Amino acid sequence: MSLKTQILIYIIVLAAFDTIIPIPITALVLIHVLYQKPRWFKDWVEEVYRS
């Protein structure tokens, strides 16, 4: 399964849960970034501070 397909599935699942129980998606992303330390976040921060 490609990354785009996985992201689409995750977004659909989050949207379904959000209609039933409001989920603070920003907090979930923050928790993910703090615990997993993904490479994309470091690259994004470096790009922001370079410009």
Mean pLDDT of all residues belonging to the chain: 84
Print the domain residue range for 34.
24-51
pLDDT for residue 39: 92
**Structural domain contains residue 2:** no
Read off the DSSP letter of residue 21. S
Note the pLDDT tens digit of each residue in 20-42.
887 787 788 888 888 998 898 88
Residue 14, domain member (yes or no): no
Question: Cα–Cα distance between 51 and 49 in angstroms, integer?
Answer: 6
40 is a domain residue:
yes
Q: What is the rounded average pLDDT of the residues 3-7?
A: 81
pTM above 0.75, yes or no: no
How many domains is the chain built from? 1
Residue range 3-10: average pLDDT? 83
Q: How many CA atoms are closer than 13 Å to the CA of 42, on its beta-carbon side?
A: 5
Q: Is residue 16 part of a domain?
A: no
